Amino acid sequence: MLNELAKEIHEEAKAHGWYEKPREIPEVIALMYSELSEALEEYRDGKPAAYFVRETSIFPQYGSFPVNETDFSKITHQKPEGVAVEFADCIIRILDTCAYMGYDIDEAMRVKMVYNKTRSYRHGGKKV
């Protein structure tokens, strides 16, 4: 399931020119961090989990549109923003990298989830 999504994401990234030259893994990992930093800033600013940015002139005019099925079906060229959207961006970068590197993310997830079931409560008392 994730491998298929990773392949689709990677093909789209290639089609948009992100693989004209080999990608360096440290750079890609830093970009994953940047998406999480953007999620943190959205959260700290008290913004909705997901909303759209409306561009009505040469200077963007921002409008909050709470996400629901109706909004998604009507909005075509408005940039989604928000914590959930930045999480999605991070997952997209991760899956793109897995496809690029040839990693079997489905199997890695299964193995890690099985292992996590064996861990003690809060991994032995960790606070965070």
**Residue 73 domain flag:** no
Q: Which two tokens stand for residue 100?
A: 């690029």
**Residue 103 domain flag:** yes
Give the pLDDT confidence of 56-107 residue by residue, as tens digits.
433 344 455 454 544 555 555 678 889 999 999 999 999 999 999 999 999 9
Q: Which two tokens stand for residue 41?
A: 């800033």
Instruction: Note whether 42 and 86 are within 8 A (CB).
Output: yes
Q: CB neighbours of 76 closer than 8 A, spacing ≥ 6?
A: none
**Residue 76 domain flag:** no
Confidence bin at 113 (pLDDT 50/70/90): very high
**Residue 87 domain flag:** yes
**Residue 65 domain flag:** no
Domain that holds residue 18: 2-47+82-125
State how many domains the chain has. Answer: 1
Confidence bin at 53 (pLDDT 50/70/90): confident
**Residue 69 domain flag:** no
pTM for the predicted model, two decimal places:
0.81
